[in-house]
Structure 1
Amino acid sequence: MDFNLSTVFFVFFLIMVLQPILMGRMFALRRAQAIRAIERKRGSRVITMIHRQEKRSLFGFSMSSQIGLEDAQSIISAIKATPDNTPIDIVLHTPGGLVIASMQIARAIEAHPAKVTVFVPIYAMSGGTLMALAADEIVMGEFSMLGPIDPQIMGISAASIIAARDAKPIEHVSDIALVLADVSDKATAQVKRGAVEIMTPRLARDKAEALAETLTSGQWTHDYALTPVEATDLGLPITVGLPQGVLDLMTLYPSPVKQSAVEFLPFDPPGRRMG
């Protein structure tokens, strides 16, 4: 067979198109095996929501995601399909997303009769924290993070918009600022009410209201990292120590960077030479 330049180009193009698809299929198979292993070991139903950049398009472009209505639909369907006596383990890694979707998922978590455990390998911020509040147990790593659930209006903290309005006489506040502050008041009240609703089955109402106030008041920036110690002090049901199976599962969600900024060599056990 004669190979000309056009044939070589076609083969190269075909490889470029198929490579990310084949890699995606391979990782999907390995994830399924890892999830099944966790389910067998813990006797639970495992649901994952991992929002990490991943090559998904034909040409390998990176796509990142947040909590959306499609996530809510999928997770609610999975929870409803789980028998009432079967515990659920949710592996959660997300920067947050839509409040309405996060609240839908949180209500479904709270409504499941059996125990629901949320695993936070790295972080579950904003809407992810809202989901975790509905769980019976939150399992974190030593350096895992939760975060405040104060709503954001056009990328600005609702609490900060309210504070800016209240800092000056009303006649000196513009109409648009008043409108934004009104929306901020409503958004904060809605999130606070929802947080209390999903926490009261496990917490006394006064404690749930105090915790919801702390997490929505804007006393921290929206990206503030709540450590396991701080989360425990706030009254959340925190357990520190992630199962190895969950840690292994996270390695199957790689971030597609050309070259990592972090490098390290495999650990060399005493008495054994590597390399």
Structure 2
Amino acid sequence: MIDVRVAEDVLEVMEKLRDGEVTLLLHTAGGCVTSCVMIANALREFERSTAVVPYMALSGGTLIALNARQLQMGRGASLSAVDPIIQGQRARHIPADEPHNEISALAREYERAIGRHVHDTLVDRLPGASETELERAYDVFMGKDAPHEWPIRRPELEELGLRVSPASHSWFEMVDSYRRRWW
């Protein structure tokens, strides 16, 4: 899970990189939206950035992956929607018409903020895309017609106009080695 501590560690390493190039290996179910946006924003600052997703980069992991200039994925790898989750619920499912409901107000703020971030990311990742194409991609990543964690696989990403290349087998070995140590 990507929390503030993970974001601090990643940002510290990224800050020390001097050659304008970074490769980020992602294997995550997501995490704290603020932490994920911070990493995504830092990734945008690199001239050459690659996100490698051997198996999955869900939710906030997708937000990070989409902000790399290059995306590499495994054959069965998946991304997912990035729409915000507030107290275990999708923000869009929290009633907006309840006055003085702090959670409702927070949900609307997160929806707008993430929506802007996703829109800006897609404009950058899909240069020359029509408004219709951008809207279609936006709807997919904001989870308009699917559950939050529904897998978005490589063929669908390519249909949206995103370039995706295969991930090297060495990345799978690295993730598998790490997973075996902790499970």
Partner of 1:88: 22
What are the Cα deviations for residues 144-191 of structure 1, in whole angstroms up to 9, with x where unaligned?
A: 0100001111101112225xx5xxxx6xxx557x54333222211111
TM-score, normalised with respect to structure 1: 0.59
Partner of 2:12: 77
What are the Cα deviations for residues 41-99 of structure 1, in whole angstroms up to 9, with x where unaligned?
A: xxxxxxxxxxxxxxxxxxxxxxxxx10111111111211211234x3211100000000
Partner of 1:97: 31
1:196 Cα shift?
2.6
Give the Cα–Cα distance (whole angstroms) in 2 for the partners of residues 224 and 214 of structure 1.
Answer: 10
Give the Cα–Cα distance (whole angstroms) in 2 for the partners of residues 129 and 83 of structure 1.
Answer: 25
TM-score, normalised with respect to structure 2: 0.86
Q: 1:122·1:141 contact (CA, 8 Å) conserved in 2?
A: yes
In 2 relative to 1, CA 93–184 (structure 1 residues): closer, same or farther, beyond 3 Å? same
SS at match of 1:253: helix
Structure 1: tracts of 5 or more residues without a match = 1-65, 258-275
| Count of aligned positions | 179
Instruction: Give the aligned residue type for 2:117.
Output: G
SS at match of 1:90: strand
Q: 2:26·2:52 contact (CA, 8 Å) conserved in 1?
A: yes
SS at match of 2:179: coil
Q: 1:96·1:127 contact (CA, 8 Å) conserved in 2?
A: yes
Partner of 1:190: 113
Q: 1:192·1:216 contact (CA, 8 Å) conserved in 2?
A: yes
The structure, 1 or 2, with the larger RCO (C-alpha pairs under 8 Å, 6+ apart) is 2
Instruction: Give the aligned residue type for 2:66.
Output: L
What are the Cα deviations for residues 168-222 of structure 1, in whole angstroms up to 9, with x where unaligned?
A: xx6xxx557x543332222111111122334433434845565334322542111
CA RMSD, 1 decimal = 2.2
Partner of 2:169: 244
Computing the radius of gyration from Cα coordinates, the structure with the larger value is 1
2:54 is the counterpart of 1:121: yes
Alignment of 1:30-109 (within 5 A): 66-85=1-20, 87-109=21-43
1:237 Cα shift?
2.3
In 2 relative to 1, CA 102–209 (structure 1 residues): closer, same or farther, beyond 3 Å? farther
Among the aligned pairs, what percent are the same residue? 24
In 2 relative to 1, CA 99–150 (structure 1 residues): closer, same or farther, beyond 3 Å? same
